[in-house]
Structure 1
Amino acid sequence: MRKIWGRFTFARRREAAYQGRKALAGVGLNSARRSAMNISLFLEMAAESAPDRVGVVCDDKRWTYEELLEAARGACELIEQSGAQYVALLDESSEASVIALFGAALAGVPYCPLNYRLADVDLSALLNRIAPALVIGDDERVGRIAAGQGHHILARDRFTQDAPNAGSVAQARSYDPGHGVAVQLFTSGTTAAPKAAILRHANLLGYILGTVDFASADHDDAALVVVPPYHIAGISAIMSSIYANRRIVVLPAFDPKAWLNLVAVEKVTNAFVVPTMLSRIIDEMSGGVMADLSSLRAIAYGGGKMPMEVIQKALAIFPNTDFTNAYGLTETSSTIALLGPEDHRLAQASDDPNIRARLASLGKPLPTVEIEIRNEAGRPVGRGVMGEIYVRGEQVSGEYKEKSALEPDGWFPTRDAGFMDADGYLFLCGRADDVIVRGGENISPGEIEDVLLAHPALLDACAVAVPSIEWGEAVGIAVVVRKGHVPPEPAELKDLIRTRLRSSRVPDEVLYLEHLPFNEMGKLLRREVKKLFEN
């Protein structure tokens, strides 16, 4: 059955959200009914419950929820007229990313934001894999690198101007019920061609309906979104804020001064940052940059490992702000574990080393997912034992266009290594492929890096596996020295690790670098560091 545009009653939308929550609990709706819901429901509900509330602010332009819905409906018309099989966004974050996401959902084609930082040859290859697409954004670049692929190209300004005026004049308009793919995101492709990760409407609905209360935001609540649109964190931030009726304040490109200014001007209450962003914000504030941050009630962070020193500084600089560590993956529709504000406060204030260690954890699994730690044989291990993190739940896709990685019983192997402590807190040890195996002993790079970062002269550190004739693999470390500090001798760093950890963690090799390689989401490119030890 296809749903119809028009004025659904608020009660029907609220009932749909309720049914979605029942689906998460495994009652009331079978899988066929669950899959017949479209993520456009979030914007429709917001537009009916608060039509005049500002939904998006970008570059001083404000869009109400009613205007966003009208633009999304118009975008649906543009998509169908173009004959596109995908909607691609090649641009920074803006109102266009919101309109394109929901317009694609209404039209029943996947939304596929692309990494505009890719080299031309790599980007051309991705565009060819989704041809023909309606490509929004850098029209000159797409025309230059993807000529002949059959795309329909619109510059961002043209798209946001045309979409609000392209809606159907018919009294009723059918749209996609939500059986298919809502979002397709290409993986980073560090060691191979990027895979096309697929998120269906049911996965994204499972995440939002299981974690966000509808219309729960106060009238003045505002969420600052600065993560790239091609990352799952940016997509989930849009959906969760709209479902909560929260104003989205978009910062197209991160700059710490601009971030601080926007918090002050727009009275931002909630923000999501990656570790490198938070570090740069703290540096600006420590350097004397002032801003009125009294409105900022909550900061969530994720996307990469948060150095202990950075989060400790943040808790001191923002004493009245709640911090949450959110761990998730593209294939899980975003967050699957949270370390909440109270956990941060207790860990920061505690003298108990076990409780204090939680500050470096990912927190506990969401109630809507299951998490297991498994060994190389695929069997669950006990508390405190490192293995691979597996997850299962309604929001977990684990699906790629090439193939599905889900096991028959729904478990998804994340390829992240970690363990759970005695109290059920999840700790990340890095990618499973990054674990150092020395003489049969599994060594987490993170534990070595945490020790190194306790040294006052070190700004950053990375531990990787290096070849060893005796042990198969040994430890190599790359460190970045703070400006104005004397580089510590390798022997000093080895002694520091030896006194804090077992001798097997002492590095065989030490490199001094000007900076470590990170991607735009703050994830350490550990494989790039490993290459440096091969030279």
Structure 2
Amino acid sequence: MASLRRVSTLRPLPIGPGRAAHEALPALREAVEGGPAVLPYAAGGSPVQVPDGATPDSGTALVVGTSGSTGTPKLAMLPGSSLVASATATHERLGGPGTWLLSMPPHHIAGVQVLVRSVVAGTTPGFVELEGGFTAASFVRAARALGGERRYTALVPTQLVRLLDDGAATSALTTFDAVLVGGAASAPSLLTRASDAGVRVVTTYGMSETSGGCVYDGVPLSVSRVRADELGRLVLGGATLATGYLGRPDLTAEVFTTDDDGERWFRTNDAGHLDPATGRWHVDGRLDDVITTGGLKVAPRLVEDALLALPVVGEAVVVGVPDDRWGEAVAAAVVVRAGAPAPTLEQLRDGLRGGLADHALPRRLLVVDRLPQRGPGKPDRAGIAGLFTSGP
């Protein structure tokens, strides 16, 4: 399927949760095949405001909102060719087209791509009912009703944690040929837990500007390219890139570049490296998330991974908060696993000591029922930092 677009109109498209998302399929199919570009948003809400007078680039099929790490809303313009390239390369990597189960809100890139992959594959997706929130029971019902010779779904790490905590949901997960997990970093302990349960997890890395995931299990899709610049910043290229941000040529010029060979690249704000032993890329964390405490650098992701390896911690986000003595203090917000007792700060520090440098041990702890999020699986780090006080 190829984009034949000759128009640059924009069609706001409300997409409901669960089965209501089925109503969006014809508009998405039309957009990919050359009709008006669609701007998906949550049914019952309002679309992201489009800059006055802005029209999508020729060839645009999807305009999707993204706030990145700054919280400033941007609208990435994705051509039909990029969406098709992403969907086709995904099926190629996973072993062939299949039937998809939509398990997350469909107006974000990860959710809408499940619908786009279904359009490209010519299959009818299934839907997890999300009224009242994602639950293990609703996932099990949808998984049991899903047909198809090959079956796929996509989750964020917090969803995977909840499903692995439920026996019936874990059994349902094992029936999928692949379970894509992205949107946020997956702790090694979580991936080990899923593998031990027989779940075929494929980790994904990407963003709205790359049509969603473009690196699977550390290896770029066949149509994607990855390199790291002199600062260790990850730069992504290939056929899945957006053309830029709607109505924001200034932001577009900042992060989208073209090299001397005519190849376009997107400059991320993530640090990463290529493991020469395995040939796989590793994301080390966001460049602007690094905490400087007592003059020493702390990568939040390393602390989060260590926290998630503790038996009592189900979810964790680590941020830096102002501190009169240390400049910044390492602060951990955690969700405790079902049935586990809430730990004290000293208990957590004792559990982490020896695995982390002393300066990386959390100095603040907040136990919460749910972590604030900016989008599916993406923690709202600024919001989480705001939950802490500057006191000891």
Q: Same fold (TM over 0.5)?
A: yes
Q: Please state how far the C-alpha of 1:211 moved relative to its aligned partner.
A: 4.3
- 2:69 is the counterpart of 1:103: no
Question: Higher mean Cα deviation, 505-514 or 525-534?
Answer: 505-514
Which amino acid is 1:38 matched to?
L
- 2:80 is the counterpart of 1:230: no
The 5 A counterparts of 1:421-500 are 421-423=275-277, 424-438=279-293, 441-469=296-324, 471-482=326-337, 484-500=339-355
Q: Distance in 1 between matches of 2:170 and 2:319?
A: 39
Find the partner of 2:135 among 228, 231, 255.
Answer: 255
Q: What's the secondary structure of 2:353's corresponding residue?
A: helix
Distance 1:534 1:189, change over 3 A: farther
Find the partner of 2:244 among 379, 385, 399.
Answer: 399
Q: Distance in 2 between matches of 1:289 and 1:213?
A: 27
- 2:273 is the counterpart of 1:419: yes
Q: Which residue of 2 aligns with 1:38?
A: 4
The 5 A counterparts of 1:297-308 are 297-308=177-188
Q: Please state how far the C-alpha of 1:525 moved relative to its aligned partner.
A: 1.7
Q: Distance in 2 between matches of 1:479 and 1:213?
A: 37
Larger RCO, structure (CA 8 Å, separation 6 or more):
2
Distance 1:230 1:450, change over 3 A: same
Which amino acid is 2:256 matched to?
L
Q: Which residue of 2 aligns with 1:313?
A: 193
Q: Distance in 2 between matches of 1:530 and 1:290?
A: 33
- 2:212 is the counterpart of 1:334: yes
Q: Which residue of 2 aligns with 1:201?
A: 80
Q: What's the secondary structure of 2:373's corresponding residue?
A: coil
Contact 1:257 1:281 in 2 (8 A): no
Note the alpha carbon deviations across 1:344-383, whole angstroms, 9 max, x for none.
xxxxxxxxxxxxxxxxxxx222233222223xxxx25xxx
Q: Distance in 2 between matches of 1:436 and 1:290?
A: 36
Distance 1:292 1:416, change over 3 A: closer
Which of the two has higher C-alpha Rg?
1
- 2:168 is the counterpart of 1:243: no
Q: What's the secondary structure of 2:206's corresponding residue?
A: strand
Find the partner of 1:186 among 65, 71, 74.
Answer: 65
Note the alpha carbon deviations across 1:155-189, whole angstroms, 9 max, x for none.
xxxxxxxxxxxxxxxxxxxxxxx942111111247
Q: What's the secondary structure of 1:114's corresponding residue?
A: strand
Q: Which residue of 2 aligns with 1:86?
A: 11
Q: Please state how far the C-alpha of 1:508 moved relative to its aligned partner.
A: 2.8
Q: Distance in 1 between matches of 2:225 and 2:294?
A: 32
Distance 1:241 1:371, change over 3 A: same
Distance 1:526 1:511, change over 3 A: same
Which amino acid is 2:138 matched to?
A
Contact 2:289 2:300 in 1 (8 A): yes
Q: Please state how far the C-alpha of 1:395 moved relative to its aligned partner.
A: 1.4
Q: Distance in 2 between matches of 1:293 and 1:512?
A: 28
Q: What's the secondary structure of 2:320's corresponding residue?
A: strand
Identity over the aligned pairs, expressed in percent?
28
Q: Which residue of 2 aligns with 1:279?
A: 161
Contact 2:315 2:334 in 1 (8 A): yes
- 2:233 is the counterpart of 1:388: yes
TM-score for both structures, normalised by structure 1: 0.61
Q: Distance in 1 between matches of 2:316 and 2:305?
A: 8
Contact 2:60 2:80 in 1 (8 A): yes
Q: What's the secondary structure of 2:107's corresponding residue?
A: coil
Note the alpha carbon deviations across 1:24-65, whole angstroms, 9 max, x for none.
xxxxxxxxxxxxx4389xxxxxxxxxxxxxxxxxxxxxxxxx
Q: Please state how far the C-alpha of 1:291 moved relative to its aligned partner.
A: 6.7
Note the alpha carbon deviations across 1:49-90, whole angstroms, 9 max, x for none.
xxxxxxxxxxxxxxxxxxxxxxxxxxxxxxx9xx97424224
Q: What's the secondary structure of 2:269's corresponding residue?
A: strand
Contact 2:34 2:61 in 1 (8 A): no
Distance 1:199 1:442, change over 3 A: farther
Which amino acid is 1:101 matched to?
L
TM-score for both structures, normalised by structure 2: 0.81
Q: Which residue of 2 aligns with 1:113?
A: 40
Distance 1:436 1:422, change over 3 A: farther
Q: Please state how far the C-alpha of 1:232 moved relative to its aligned partner.
A: 1.5
Q: What's the secondary structure of 2:125's corresponding residue?
A: strand
Distance 1:293 1:512, change over 3 A: closer
Q: Distance in 1 between matches of 2:173 and 2:80?
A: 36
Contact 2:157 2:182 in 1 (8 A): yes
Q: Distance in 1 between matches of 2:54 and 2:274?
A: 45
The 5 A counterparts of 1:501-520 are 501-519=356-374
Distance 1:330 1:296, change over 3 A: same
Which amino acid is 2:213 matched to?
T
The 5 A counterparts of 1:2-81 are 37-38=3-4
Q: Please state how far the C-alpha of 1:255 moved relative to its aligned partner.
A: 3.3
Q: Which residue of 2 aligns with 1:144?
A: none
What value does the CA root-mean-square deviation take over the aligned residues? 3.5
Q: Distance in 2 between matches of 1:407 and 1:439?
A: 37
- 2:203 is the counterpart of 1:325: yes
Which amino acid is 1:391 matched to?
L
Distance 1:130 1:298, change over 3 A: farther
Q: What's the secondary structure of 1:233's corresponding residue?
A: helix
Distance 1:117 1:307, change over 3 A: farther
Contact 2:333 2:365 in 1 (8 A): yes
Contact 1:388 1:413 in 2 (8 A): yes
Find the partner of 1:264 among 144, 159, 162.
Answer: 144
Tell me, which stretches of 5 or more residues in structure 1 are unaligned? 1-12, 17-36, 41-79, 134-177, 340-362, 381-386
Looking at secondary structure, tell me which structure has more strand per residue.
Answer: 2
Q: Please state how far the C-alpha of 1:396 moved relative to its aligned partner.
A: 1.7
Q: What's the secondary structure of 1:499's corresponding residue?
A: coil
Q: Please state how far the C-alpha of 1:466 moved relative to its aligned partner.
A: 1.9
Contact 2:65 2:108 in 1 (8 A): no
Q: Distance in 2 between matches of 1:225 and 1:88?
A: 17
Looking at secondary structure, tell me which structure has more helix per residue.
Answer: 1
